[in-house]
Structure 1
């Protein structure tokens, strides 16, 4: 009996092996990717709230009300009259109370204390949410390949942010200081936006399979990605400058636009911008110069943003074009809110909207950058 001819592509084993299912590389991590994405979105929301509460803490001059860093014992506020008196007495020893708030009542002190305590407490909550989530996914082995280091990195940045927060507060407790050092405030806020940016980027990436990202990256717009990356860095610089403005209350000194009005008249340039010595101090401590730099940077950022948007309009991908349309809309909104903030001398309710709009712009730019790199597939007829 003649033996059956085998194909050269047939397995020599008599055991039939199952065929690999399409998308098998990502199949095992599909559920974990979605769960980790939800967890990161929770962290993202908490960080946004943290930025807003931090801004309100600064605007209400509450940041120096707690004069020590107690990561564990400080989780509980004073629970009796004696504890409140001890906290208030410690506050009375620092320059802010002596030179600015002398005569403050205990009830008034409690208001600013709870703002700062709430800010620190929120930081603890973020740390706990990160730790519980990371350990849960690690123990269950649900972290996709290549993502463990990224998630640890987020936690490390959070720990660093806590240390920088105290470094910032400590500067305001020194002799001659009634506020925290503006450059330390800028460092603290800048790192918050860095953390927010990485979380947002990871959320974007986890929204699609690795195989899909690799496939769509081939159709990405390299030039648009580079332009949006430049816009991202430019916006980050403006955020830091905004923190410098807030750090010395420079937003309240010249309530006019586009000129800067002083006692001697109105001018496009700030009055006597280089009176402090050494000269570098003027870029951090001269209210007129700091606000002027913030204004000029805003103009340049707006122009660059429009140029990036014009390039984004040329994208053949409808989702990418829409992403950059949203980015431009938020950029225009932020510009208008910034002008209103100046005209009304930065009242708390407008200033905090300005800061929140910065968060929206930051995320909008990151989203546009992501879509330039990894465009969402569309039909051939898609516009």
Structure 2
């Protein structure tokens, strides 16, 4: 292809140390993806409030005696979720929800270890230059902030409500995806530091349109956070109509009106549906546009994958809604959203235009 850059190298021809750094970053990104799916399961099983203590170090160990199990269960009995929704729950049932939240927190700790220790080793061995090192320290800081934000989210469910704040839940999800996207982009930049560029003058416009799609994907995922936070998927379980209406009757009932976008179940679910359909439509449009453009094979493949994944994600979302959000489908829907984001980032990275002479 005319767009090939002399001397460009791929992951297969990269020096071994650089390849190792890139693969490590991909592994960390994959762990963040798994963390988001575990978080979805924790949310869907109503397990997130089962651990009442914030203990970053000592909390790595679960209860090891009957007395300790009784103590943590007694703490859970003090919050509204137990008193209003789970009164009478036995210790065996409590252990089920405890383990999901414990696994979620333990996986977060494991991500920290898997990121920090190899980072120190690669840096000591001279495999990380100063610019990349600064970017990796930013990633480390974001991970630490995510731990604090996670506790801030959980704490919102301890006092006056039976669930966590949908605002904090969405912020926690959004930061997780920022970390994921940042790590994935860094991995691509390490493995493909000189991506193939195109002479096609339309590539610049196509890339700008892809940025708009990235923004739309991000907003759609964030709107899904509000759907999850309000348990909005448990109602209006028909598609495309909602209670027989294209736009639900209660869409704008809250005052001030802006609150409907974040607290009105009808509005939140309708907006998520609309954003999802718009995402698929734009993904398909950009794929068809890309077919006539002279771009790198990696970008062509990215557009095709993006269109297919967006269609699958829409179908998965509709199925999840119609079946009233079973845990397995809900978790798969979360994973599908991240895969759509992944394909968008991949395509954006590999869609490059050679500067005009």
- TM-score (normalised: structure 2): 0.91
Q: CA deviation at 1:344?
A: 1.1
Q: How does 1:107-118 map to 2 (within 5 A)?
A: 107-118=92-103
**1:248–1:320 Cα change, 3 Å:** same
SS across alignment from 2:351: helix
Query: In the TM superposition, what whole-angstrom CA distance separates every residue of 1:25-81 from its partner, at most 9, and x where no partner exists?
Result: xxxx93321111121122112111101100000000000001121101111111111
Name the residue aligned to 1:350: 329
**Structure-1 separation of matches of 2:198 and 2:267:** 46
Does structure 2 conserve the Cα–Cα contact (< 8 Å) formed by 1:32 and 1:144?
no
Name the residue aligned to 1:135: 120
- TM-score (normalised: structure 1): 0.85
Q: CA deviation at 1:374?
A: 7.2
**Ranges in structure 2 where 5+ consecutive residues have no aligned partner:** 1-6, 9-13
Question: Aligned pair 1:151/2:136, yes or no?
Answer: yes
Q: CA deviation at 1:320?
A: 2.2
The structure showing larger relative contact order (alpha-carbon pairs under 8 Å, at least 6 residues apart) is 2
Question: Aligned pair 1:86/2:63, yes or no?
Answer: no
Does structure 2 conserve the Cα–Cα contact (< 8 Å) formed by 1:56 and 1:348?
yes
Name the residue aligned to 2:277: 299
Question: Aligned pair 1:63/2:42, yes or no?
Answer: no
**1:230–1:330 Cα change, 3 Å:** same
**Structure-1 separation of matches of 2:168 and 2:42:** 15
Name the residue aligned to 1:366: 345
SS across alignment from 1:164: helix
Does structure 2 conserve the Cα–Cα contact (< 8 Å) formed by 1:314 and 1:321?
no
Query: In the TM superposition, what whole-angstrom CA distance separates every residue of 1:64-121 from its partner, at most 9, and x where no partner exists?
Result: 0011211011111111111111100100000100111000000100110110011000
Q: Which has the larger radius of gyration?
A: 1
**Structure-2 separation of matches of 1:46 and 1:374:** 32
Q: Which moved more, 1:249-258 or 1:277-286?
A: 277-286
Q: CA deviation at 1:151?
A: 1.0
Does structure 2 conserve the Cα–Cα contact (< 8 Å) formed by 1:251 and 1:345?
yes
> Pick from 69, 75, 81: which aligns with 1:96?
81
Name the residue aligned to 2:251: 273
Runs of 4+ in 1 over 6 A off after TM superposition: none
Name the residue aligned to 1:202: 186
Name the residue aligned to 1:242: 224
SS across alignment from 1:275: coil
Q: Which moved more, 1:112-121 or 1:270-279?
A: 270-279
Does structure 2 conserve the Cα–Cα contact (< 8 Å) formed by 1:273 and 1:288?
yes
Name the residue aligned to 2:3: none
Name the residue aligned to 2:265: 287
Q: CA deviation at 1:283?
A: 2.1
SS across alignment from 1:172: coil
Does structure 1 conserve the Cα–Cα contact (< 8 Å) formed by 2:298 and 2:347?
no
Q: Which moved more, 1:141-150 or 1:77-86?
A: 141-150
Q: How does 1:170-185 map to 2 (within 5 A)?
A: 170-175=155-160, 177-185=161-169
Count of residues in correspondence between the two structures:
340
Q: CA deviation at 1:277?
A: 4.1
Q: CA deviation at 1:157?
A: 1.0
Name the residue aligned to 1:15: none
**Structure-1 separation of matches of 2:328 and 2:317:** 13
Q: CA deviation at 1:313?
A: 1.4
Name the residue aligned to 2:314: 335
Question: Aligned pair 1:312/2:290, yes or no?
Answer: yes
Does structure 1 conserve the Cα–Cα contact (< 8 Å) formed by 2:204 and 2:353?
no
**Structure-1 separation of matches of 2:353 and 2:171:** 31
Does structure 2 conserve the Cα–Cα contact (< 8 Å) formed by 1:254 and 1:345?
no
> Pick from 148, 154, 163: which aligns with 2:148?
163
